[in-house]
Amino acid sequence: MNFEFLRTGAEVSFCARPIFEAALQDPGTNRGKVVKNMTEKTKEQKVKTERNKLKKIFKSLDPKAMQVLDGLIDNCAWMRIQLEDLRADLDENGTTELFQQSEKVDPYPRERPEAAQYIKISKNYESGIRALVSNLPKEQQASTLDDFQAFMARGRQVIQ
């Protein structure tokens, strides 16, 4: 079944509306998965949106400086989306798991690899954003850092 019209925001007929609403609410059906996947942005779209947001913040910089910072902006955009995905996983599955080396040894709790990844990417993202912000005029740095620190504080709540 083709759900392409949902992406465009087209109106659904009065008779078909209950069917699509049920499909959206019931993730167990294939229709629900198709509709959900079509309404969610892909990772590439999220990265592109974040990249555009960062470029908009830094548009006041000299074009030559922007060329130098372009790779850092791309990396920071990617890291931000990775952090959001990892945070969602950590919210759902927690930061620790039971791990068993072999059948002879009792399982013990250990930090999930996703939690370690989150911490590593978080630190790299923080240093990347600070490097970017240091190139902004002084009056713009304070407001940009406030937004960044609010984002980082939400992530720290997940790890603690």
Residue 138 pLDDT exceeds 60: yes
What angle (nearest 5°) sits at the alpha carbon of residue 62, between those of residues 53 and 149? 40
- Which residues pair with residue 110 across a beta bridge? 97
Cα–Cα distances in angstroms (integers) from residue 160 to residues 88, 97, 154, in the given order? 15, 15, 11
Mean pLDDT of the chain: 79
| Range among 21-25, 39-43, 77-81, 139-143 rated most confident | 77-81
What is residue 7's predicted lDDT score, i.e. its pLDDT? 47
Global pTM? 0.63
Which is more confident, 137 or 104? 104
Mean pLDDT of 28-43: 60
Q: Percent of the chain, pLDDT > 70?
A: 62
When pLDDT is cut at 50, 70 and 90, the band that residue 160 belongs to is: low
10-24 per-position pLDDT tens digit: 455 555 666 656 666
